[in-house]
């Protein structure tokens, strides 16, 4: 359904390509810092893929792949407890200094230094026992255990040691001193583009690095224009001020069919692996949500078809679980939960939450700590993030339906920081969240394993011995069929126990300037993979 | 945040026609009787041989004090649970003007104005006209309660500062000054983070930022009256300071303070809508004009019909409060001179 | 009347009020002081009217207010019925407040514009808890009648009254507590000549009926001669001459008195 | 006068201290501190020990008062610290955001004053004329239109439907390639819509104010006397009416200053205008304590100083004012 011109690959005849063109991309917000080990948002990632070149990359299907521009080879030892990565000869940083194994070892040490606040980069590398440089081109990794995930664990961002080492002596956090901030705002990388300027609140400019050892990208310059507002972005696209922008479902469905849009731009869509869900607090103190039948009933009461129609303009797909059908685990065969209020009501009746004929709400006698019983009304508070356009709408629809079966849904809109703090402390009944599946199914460990209650993102407090064991098995086995079986089992367990109720999974919705070619989509959108933006091009006029 | 700080005060002292009060009275009537204008249940209906007043009861529950004693009408006993269809078709029923509940999802989403939906529907298929009418309840409630609170605080502080003068006045004046300079946005975030979102939090936030207007005014009035002969007279026959402050000075300060408070209601409505625009206001699904404005903003390209109702509603209610303020000022000032 | 003056009297022969070496000063902004009353000594007997004359700004008003303890005294003392007033505390002070009252020059300013006549006159009663409800209303009406006001005015606001009526309300408020001592601070200077005569007659008749003592402050010698038993002449904060009214006015000793006298038209 | 100014400045110091202390405590006690936020945004390392370590790193482990003392001692040396969010110095961040806000506010205020004197003056001189009547109604109506409602209407109609003017940000994407005059033009285009939202309430208020004040002056005895001396209408206005009407105008401007400088959060968010309001909003949402505190000090100081300057100006213009 995407226009064929969009995905037209780079022609062999290079003279047809405008190699001096500027690509103007939209930036929804400014990055926090252009330091790859401090980066943690999707915005940050956009720069990571252009300014830096890691030895290991993800392709459009999110498969593990060696970066042909950087890596000579990667060899796993027979006991699978160590590996050797050999870099190509003559690699350089943008400033001309050599890129060596020392840089890799240095970066691992920085990532593991807990004085550095890296929110994301430590996940993975922290499974390594060591990372050392054998010589200028050879990096040696040793592992704590022989795990199939180790090949992901050796993939982490790399800093130029010669620039950060002097900074580190005064400022081990790499973010609190003048020198560190200067470096983080004018980074030196090794990727196909080098940093030119950052005008705060307005734009960030990159330029093609002519000495890049890999394939030369088509665009000479890339300008990231900071445009937080979605209307402004679409308007900018239609007035030829930017070349691409992600679209909201509403924009994709209703605002991009006119002539004005067609004269300037085309739309692209692909399935994505981001899933909206409702997380339930299963801890004992939360009388209503801690009951498993109740959570199942809540699943039946969630009108997913209406939500997809009214909130997501028919563009999203019903989600069955943490694993997308197109990922390595899927399809898991887990059935989607039907929307059925009658079923939900019956389930609640069976669970002892009975309707009071006087006021219509459901109640249950619950034992309290001092031995007496207390009459509790069926209901919960749903936490939403402030500023989200979609989650209040989901909550609204949910509230209307729950009221019909006598369950009270109270919404609470919290700022991002407070929302996070509440989740982190387990101080909530339920919340609307989103989960983006990565290439490695083991990632769900962080959401489901009982150890992740204290140390991960298992905010619901979900603990199931069988799930724990299966997660462990999935993590340890190298047998792909067995791994898949493990995760399918987990998917079914999660569906039964319902610590999470899944709403819908989001596609990638994008708009591009008409003349843009070479765009392919990955589950992460058109840019955040290899080659991503590097394959985009525009014809010479 | 305070668009209302630039209020318009036409010349003082002119007598004004009571017609100026009409808009604000209408607004108050709409706010109180919103369910009589837009609701999914009849105002009066016959059901199983008896008369019921479902929408009227809902409206009654908006009235302070009385509302607490009203219980839902029997066939509609589940709050909002029973849809129109539960009423037998042949029975007598007097319906509100708009037969939609402001929170109700109809089958048409984002439909432009039509015969069924006079101002169209929003993205969830809710009737915009019904939401606009019910939004007045939130706005007026916030405006009035915020100003009552701000008035109480401002009068107390202003009276103490103005009556005692000197050291007290110095400290309290600094407090007033500090409040004016204080980053209001952060105050809002802090209060919301602690109190949680809701009408109460918004009222507290607005009162905490707006009380200084009244305090400054009352302080100035008290300072002015402190040396007045009628105060000396009261002292000469042995009236206590509290007596003098409450009985002799307060009524004099109250009149101008009331004018400020009426204008303040307009400010409060503005601030409430502004907070809702920033998504700090009264939480969904409550119909609030600021919230409607925000969602209209997000959909202005696909549904421009959503923009105007909240804009007009906010403008009209602010204008109504300003007119009432002008009237009040005209009423009160000749007396003071 | 609920309070009989005789009951409170310790010694019928002693003066009701005595000021000794009284000083009143105001501090100027930016340092320095300004002396308003500079060592004044005099006595007022029971039932006596002492006139206090002098040109504007000579300290008459300050003296009057100092006598009532309404402004702080910088030196000397005032005794009322044998008790020094600056030492009066709470309950005793309240009693004193009941026995001594002040009548103002500008009734328009001294009457609270937001209170009705009835409330204004009743307020002293309420402050002292002397009468409530119907009893208070009756007493207010009686007092209004006493000062020659139509009882129908009881529900009016001050700005709805004429100057003379306002002045009478002011007097009524002072009288409602049935005081023994009144400081009349130029009570007639703000009304027209006709009303003035009527008011002076009223004040005099009120004094005679109840044996009250007046300090009658005026710059109008004609009024003083009409009202006063004795007259004190004040200049720049000092009393320069004090004596029987006839003597002082017909045979002034001090140049200041002569000057004042020459400026007054006679009736 | 110098002594008066000095005393006023000294009185402002405890006020400023009070504001900063309260803000500091409030900011630090509000839920959602940056350390927890960072922890919650991390995949792992959410254990209490890790959290405590993070708090220590942000300097949040000491008591609030101790931190306030430390902060104050640095601020006295004009060191406002570094942003928790991106590590840049708070001074630099604010310095960057100051011109858009200040420029807009000043230009708006200046235009409003010009409009007010022109329209209000005309209305006063020709009291009862059609300009007077029209301006009266227009001012009253405009003053009831909230700024953000106006902003929204402008965006929807002028920005989106007509596509006439840009409504987001301060410059175009290709601003870097423009010549200097083009860039200025670009800036003006971007500032126009948000500028209108700033100007019209001020203009409405001040027009009314100037009109009423000048009408009083025009009807006064000394203007009549001046006319009697044979001065022309123009001379009367320039020599008498205007100076007397300007005096209260100055005070009113002083009173409006806090609103003009501090009241722009919604508009700046709405128009993505990279000014102080937007910075404050972002900083508050990110719990970027150093930036919040820096902005608090700055806005409070500007407001306090603004009122002081207006008072002093008032004294310079009106010889009757005493420094009491």
The pLDDT, as a whole number, for residue D318 is 62
Domain extent for A407: 272-506
Cβ-defined contact of A251 to B78 (cutoff 8 Å): no
Q: Per the domain annotation, does A533 fall within a domain?
A: no
* Confidence tier at A77 by pLDDT (50, 70, 90): very high
User: What is the reported pTM?
Assistant: 0.86
Chain B residues in contact with D139 (beta carbon < 8 A): 8
Q: What is the predicted pLDDT for the residue at D314?
A: 67
Contacts B–C by Cβ distance under 8 A = 67
Residues 179-238 of B with CB under 8 A from A: 189, 192-193, 196-197
D112 pLDDT tier (thresholds 50, 70, 90): very high
pLDDT attached to residue A144: 94
More confident residue, A256 or C14: A256
Can you tell me the distance from the alpha carbon of A64 to that of D27, in angstroms, rounded to the nearest whole number? 45
Q: In Å, what is the CA distance from B95 to each residue of A328, B44, B128, B337?
A: 58, 7, 18, 52
Question: What pLDDT sits at residue A317?
Answer: 92
Question: What percent of chain A is predicted at pLDDT more than 70?
Answer: 100
CA-based end-to-end distance of chain C: 37
Closest chain B C-alpha to C70 CA, distance in angstroms: 7
Q: B105 and chain A: CB distance < 8 Å anywhere?
A: yes
Task: Give B18 or D154, the one with higher predicted confidence.
Answer: D154
Single out the residue in A163, A191, A219 at which a domain terminates: A191
In a domain, C5, yes or no: no
The nearest CA of chain C is from the CA of B20 a distance in Å of: 24
Residue B312, chain D, CB below 8 Å: the answer is no
Is C12 part of any domain? Answer: no
pLDDT at D46 over 50: yes
pLDDT at D45: 55
CATH number, domain containing residue A482: 3.10.105.10
D21 in a structural domain: no
The rounded distance, in Å, linking the Cα atoms of B290 and B305 is 16
Let me know if residue A238 belongs to a domain.
no
Domain-embedded: residue A13: no
A124/B174 Cα distance (integer angstroms) = 55
Per-residue DSSP letter, A10 = P
> Taking 80 as the threshold, does the pLDDT of residue D1 lie above it?
no
Residues B142, B203: contact at Cβ < 8 Å? yes
Counting CB pairs under 8 A, whether chains D and A reach 3 or more, is yes
Residue C6: per-residue pLDDT: 41
Rounded to the nearest angstrom, the minimum Cα separation between D278 and chain B is: 11
Is residue A509's pLDDT more than 90? yes
* Arithmetic mean of pLDDT over chain A: 91
Question: In sequence order, which ranges of chain C are alpha helices (DSSP H)?
Answer: 5-8, 60-67, 90-99, 107-110, 117-127, 133-146, 163-175, 193-210, 221-227, 245-250, 255-262
- Residue in B224, B214, B90, B91 with CA at minimum distance from that of residue B157: B214
Q: Which residues of D touch B180 (CB under 8 A)?
A: 258, 303
Report CA dihedral (C180, C184, C185, C190) to the nearest 10 degrees. 150
Sheet holding A373-377, edge to edge: A354-355, A362-367, A373-377
Picking from B6, B299, B325 by the largest number of D CB atoms within 10 A of its own CB, the best residue to mutate is B6
ipTM: 0.84
Does the residue A328 lie in any domain? yes
Q: Report yes or no on A376 lying in a domain.
A: yes
How many structural domains are present in chain A? 2
Is pLDDT above 80 for A17? Answer: yes
CA atoms within 13 A on the CB side of C66: 28
**How many separate domains does chain C show?**
1
Q: Give the pLDDT confidence of A393-451 residue by residue, as tens digits.
A: 999 899 888 988 889 999 888 888 889 888 988 999 999 999 999 889 999 999 999 99
The secondary structure of A320-373 as a DSSP string is: -SSS-TTSSS----PPPPP--HHHHHHHHHHTT-EE-TTTS-EEEEEE-TTS-E
Question: What local confidence, expressed as pLDDT, does residue B88 receive?
Answer: 58
Q: What pLDDT, on the 0 to 100 scale, is given for residue C222? A: 82
Structural domain includes residue D89: no
D113, D266, D277, D301: which to substitute to probe chain B, counting the most B Cβ within 10 Å?
A: D266
Chain-centroid distance of CA C35 in Å reads: 22
* Two tokens, residue A6: 């969009």
CATH of the domain at D236: 1.10.3720.10
Nearest CA in chain B to C177: B237
B and C touch per CB criterion (3+ pairs under 8 A): yes
> B78 vs A395: CB contact, 8 Å cut-off?
no
Q: Tokens representing B322?
A: 């300003």
**Structural domain of residue D115, as residue ranges?**
98-317
| Whether D258 contacts B181, CB under 8 Å | yes
The predicted-structure confidence for D137-175, as pLDDT tens digits, reads as follows 899 899 889 888 999 899 888 988 888 888 888 887 677
Q: Is the dihedral of CA A30, A35, A40, A46 positive or negative?
A: positive
In a domain, D56, yes or no: no
Residue B81 has pLDDT above 50, yes or no: no
Residues of B in contact with C91 (CB under 8 A): none
Residue D74 lies in a domain: no
Query: Could you tell me which of A243, A221, A220 has the C-alpha nearest to residue A233?
Result: A243
Nearest to B244 by CA among A470, C127, A167, C169: C127
Report the C-alpha gap between D306 and D308 in whole angstroms: 5
State yes or no: cis peptide before B285, omega within 30 of 0: yes
What Cα–Cα distance (Å) separates residue C125 from each residue in A467, C152, C184?
85, 20, 20
Range of the domain at C221: 17-262
Q: What is the tally of structural domains in chain D?
A: 1
- The answer to whether residue B132 scores a pLDDT higher than 90 is yes
| Contact pairs from chain A to chain B, CB under 8 Å | 71
- In a domain, residue C171? The reply is yes
In a domain, D237, yes or no: yes
In a domain, C217, yes or no: yes
Q: Which residues in B48-199 belong to E strands, given as ranges?
A: 50-52, 93-94
Residues A175 and A290 in one domain: no
Segment A163-192 shows an average pLDDT of 92
Return the minimum-mean-pLDDT range out of A122-136, A242-256, D265-279.
Answer: D265-279
Alpha carbon separation from A285 to A368, A369, C131, D172, D228 (Å, rounded): 10, 10, 63, 54, 88
Domain harbouring C203, CATH code: 3.40.50.300
Tokens of B19: 């017609």
C264 interfaces chain B, CB cutoff of 8 Å: no
Same domain, A187 and A276: no
Instruction: Give the residue ranges of chain C where pLDDT is below 50.
Output: 1-9, 266-267
Which has the higher per-residue pLDDT, B58 or D323? B58
Q: B285 to chain A: which residues are within 8 Å by CB?
A: 396, 399, 411
């Amino acid at each position: 359904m995407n226009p064929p011109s969009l995905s037209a690959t780079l022609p062999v005849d290079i003279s047809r390509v405008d190699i001096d063109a500027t690509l103007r991309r939209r930036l929804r917000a400014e990055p926090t810092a252009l330091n790859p080990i401090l980066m943690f948002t999707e915005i940050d990632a956009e720069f990571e893929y252009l300014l830096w070149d890691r030895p290991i990359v993800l392709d459009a299907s999110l498969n593990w792949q060696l970066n042909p521009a950087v890596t000579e080879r990667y060899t796993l030892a027979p006991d699978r407890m160590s590996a050797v990565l050999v870099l190509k000869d003559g690699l350089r940083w943008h400033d001309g200094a050599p890129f060596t194994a020392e840089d890799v070892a240095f970066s691992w040490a920085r990532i593991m230094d807990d004085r550095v606040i890296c929110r994301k980069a430590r996940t993975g590398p922290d499974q390594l026992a060591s990372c050392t440089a054998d010589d200028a081109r050879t990096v040696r990794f040793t592992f704590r255990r022989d795990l199939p995930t180790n090949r992901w664990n050796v993939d982490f961002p790399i800093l130029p040691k010669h620039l950060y080492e002097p900074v580190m002596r005064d400022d081990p956090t790499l973010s609190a001193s003048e020198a560190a901030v200067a470096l983080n705002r004018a980074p030196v990388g090794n990727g196909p583009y080098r940093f030119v300027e950052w005008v705060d609140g307005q734009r960030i400019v990159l330029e093609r690095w002519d000495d890049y050892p890999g394939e030369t990208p088509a665009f000479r310059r890339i300008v990231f224009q900071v445009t937080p507002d979605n209307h402004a972005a679409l308007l900018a696209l239609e007035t030829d001020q930017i070349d691409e922008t992600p679209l909201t479902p509403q924009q994709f469905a209703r605002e991009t069919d006119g002539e004005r849009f067609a004269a300037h731009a085309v739309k692209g869509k692909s399935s994505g692996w981001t899933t909206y869900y409702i997380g339930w607090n299963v801890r004992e103190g939360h009388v209503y949500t801690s009951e498993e039948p109740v959570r199942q009933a809540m699943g039946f009461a969630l009108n997913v078809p209406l939500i997809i129609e009214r909130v997501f303009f028919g563009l999203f797909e019903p989600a069955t679980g943490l694993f997308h059908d197109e990922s390595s685990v899927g399809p898991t065969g887990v059935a989607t939960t039907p929307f059925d209020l009658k079923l939900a009501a019956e389930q609640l009746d069976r669970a002892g939450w009975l309707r009071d004929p006087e006021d219509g709400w459901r109640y249950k006698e619950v034992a309290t700590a001092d031995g007496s019983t207390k009459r509790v009304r069926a209901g919960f508070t749903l936490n939403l993030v402030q500023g989200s356009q979609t989650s209040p709408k989901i909550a609204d629809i949910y509230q209307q339906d729950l009221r019909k079966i006598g369950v009270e849904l109270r919404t609470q809109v919290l700022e991002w920081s407070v929302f996070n703090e509440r989740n982190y402390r387990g101080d909530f009944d339920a919340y609307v969240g989103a989960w983006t599946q990565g290439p490695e199914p083991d990632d769900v460990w962080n959401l489901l394993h009982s150890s992740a209650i204290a140390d991960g993102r298992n905010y619901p407090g979900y603990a199931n011995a069988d799930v724990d064991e299966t997660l462990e098995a999935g993590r340890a086995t190298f047998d792909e069929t067995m791994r898949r079986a493990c995760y399918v089992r987990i998917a079914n367990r999660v569906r039964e126990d319902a610590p999470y109720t899944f709403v819908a999974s989001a596609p990638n919705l994008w708009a591009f300037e008409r003349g843009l070619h070479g765009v392919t989509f990955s589950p992460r959108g058109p840019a955040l993979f290899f080659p991503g933006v590097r394959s985009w091009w525009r014809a010479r006029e | 945040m305070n668009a209302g700080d630039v209020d318009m005060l036409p010349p003082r002292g002119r007598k004004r026609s009571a017609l100026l009060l009409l808009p604000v009275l209408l607004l108050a009537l709409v706010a109180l009787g919103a369910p009589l204008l837009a609701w999914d249940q009849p105002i009066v209906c016959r059901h199983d041989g008896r008369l019921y007043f479902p929408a009227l009861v809902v409206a009654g529950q908006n009235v302070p004090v009385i509302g607490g004693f009203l219980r839902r009408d029997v066939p509609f006993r589940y709050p909002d649970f029973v849809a129109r269809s539960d009423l037998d078709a042949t029975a007598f029923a007097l319906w509100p003007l708009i037969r939609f509940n402001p929170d109700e999802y109809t089958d048409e989403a984002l439909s432009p104005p039509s015969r069924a939906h006079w101002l169209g529907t929003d993205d969830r298929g809710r009737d915009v006209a019904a939401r606009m009418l019910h939004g007045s309840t939130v706005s007026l409630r916030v405006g009035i309660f915020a100003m009552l609170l701000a008035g109480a605080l401002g009068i107390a502080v202003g009276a103490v500062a103005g009556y005692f003068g000197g050291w007290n006045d110095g400290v309290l004046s600094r407090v007033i000054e500090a409040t004016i300079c204080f980053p209001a946005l952060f105050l809002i975030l802090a209060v919301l983070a602690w109190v949680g979102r809701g009408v109460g939090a918004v009222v507290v936030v607005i009162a905490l930022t707006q009380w200084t207007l009244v305090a400054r005014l009352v302080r100035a009035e008290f300072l002015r009256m402190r040396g007045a002969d009628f105060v000396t007279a009261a002292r000469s026959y042995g009236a206590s300071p509290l007596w003098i402050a409450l009985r002799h000075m307060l009524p004099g300060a109250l009149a101008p303070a009331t004018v400020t408070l009426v204008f303040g209601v307009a400010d409060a409505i503005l601030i409430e809508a502004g907070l809702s625009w920033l998504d700090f206001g009264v939480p969904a699904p409550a119909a609030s004009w600021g919230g409607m404005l925000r969602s209209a903003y997000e959909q202005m390209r696909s549904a421009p019909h959503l923009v105007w109702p909240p804009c007009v509603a906010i403008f009209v209610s602010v204008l109504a409060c300003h007119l009432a303020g002008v009237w009040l000022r005209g009423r009160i000032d000749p007396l003071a001179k | 009347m609920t309070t009989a003056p005789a009951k409170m009297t310790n010694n019928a022969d002693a003066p009701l009020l005595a000021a000794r070496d009284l000083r009143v000063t105001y501090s100027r902004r930016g340092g320095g002081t300004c002396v308003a009353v500079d060592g004044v000594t005099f006595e007022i007997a029971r039932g006596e009217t002492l006139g206090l004359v002098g040109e504007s700004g000579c300290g008459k008003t300050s003296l009057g207010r100092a006598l009532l303890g309404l402004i702080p005294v910088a030196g000397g003392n005032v005794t009322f019925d044998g008790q020094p007033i600056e030492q009066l505390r709470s309950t005793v002070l309240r009693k004193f407040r009941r026995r001594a009252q002040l009548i103002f020059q500008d009734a328009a300013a001294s009457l609270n514009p937001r209170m009705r006549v009835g409330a204004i006159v009743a307020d002293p009663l309420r402050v002292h808890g002397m009468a409530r409800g119907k009893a208070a209303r009756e007493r207010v009406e009686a007092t209004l009648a006493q000062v020659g006001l139509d009882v129908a005015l009881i529900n009016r606001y001050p700005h709805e009254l004429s100057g003379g009526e306002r002045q009478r309300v002011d007097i009524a408020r002072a009288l409602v507590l049935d005081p023994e001592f009144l400081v009349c601070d130029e009570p007639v200077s703000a009304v027209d000549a006709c009303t003035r005569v009527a008011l002076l007659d009223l004040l005099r008749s009120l004094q005679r009926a109840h044996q009250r003592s007046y300090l009658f402050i005026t710059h109008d010698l004609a009024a003083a001669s009409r009202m006063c038993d004795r007259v004190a002449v004040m200049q720049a904060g000092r009393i320069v001459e004090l004596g029987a009214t006839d003597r002082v006015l017909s045979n002034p000793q001090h140049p200041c008195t002569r000057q004042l006298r020459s400026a007054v038209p006679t009736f | 006068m110098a002594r008066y100014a000095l005393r006023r400045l000294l009185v402002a110091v405890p006020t400023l201290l009070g504001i900063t202390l309260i803000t500091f405590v409030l900011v630090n006690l509000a839920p959602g501190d940056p350390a927890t936020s960072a922890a919650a945004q991390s995949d792992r390392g959410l254990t209490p020990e890790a959290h405590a370590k993070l708090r220590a790193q942000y300097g949040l482990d000491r008591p609030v008062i101790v931190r306030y003392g430390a902060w104050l001692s640095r601020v006295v040396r004009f060191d406002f610290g570094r942003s928790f969010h991106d590590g840049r110095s708070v001074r630099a961040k604010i310095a960057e955001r100051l011109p858009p806000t200040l420029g807009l506010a000043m230009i708006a205020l200046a235009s409003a004053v010009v409009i007010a004197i022109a329209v209000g003056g005309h209305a006063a001189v020709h009291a009862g004329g059609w300009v007077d009547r029209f301006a009266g109604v227009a001012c009253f109506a405009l003053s009831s239109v909230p700024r953000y409602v106006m902003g929204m209407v402008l965006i929807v109609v002028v920005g989106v439907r007509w596509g006439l003017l840009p409504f987001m940000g301060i410059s175009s994407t290709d601003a870097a390639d423009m010549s200097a005059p083009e860039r200025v033009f670009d800036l003006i285009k971007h500032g126009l819509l948000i500028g209108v939202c700033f100007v019209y309430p001020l203009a409405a208020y001040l027009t009314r104010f100037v009109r009423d004040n000048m009408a009083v002056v025009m009807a006064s005895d000394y203007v009549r006397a001046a006319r009697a001396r044979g001065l022309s209408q123009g001379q009367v206005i320039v020599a008498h009416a205007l100076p007397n009407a300007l005096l209260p105008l100055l005070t009113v401007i002083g009173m409006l200053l806090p609103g003009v400088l501090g009241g722009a959060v919604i508009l700046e968010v709405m128009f993505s205008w990279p000014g102080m309001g937007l910075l404050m909003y972002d900083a508050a949402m990110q719990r970027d304590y150093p930036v919040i505190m820096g902005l608090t000090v700055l806005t409070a100081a500007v407001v306090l100083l603004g009122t002081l300057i207006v008072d002093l100006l008032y004294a310079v213009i009106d010889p009757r004012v005493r420094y009491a």
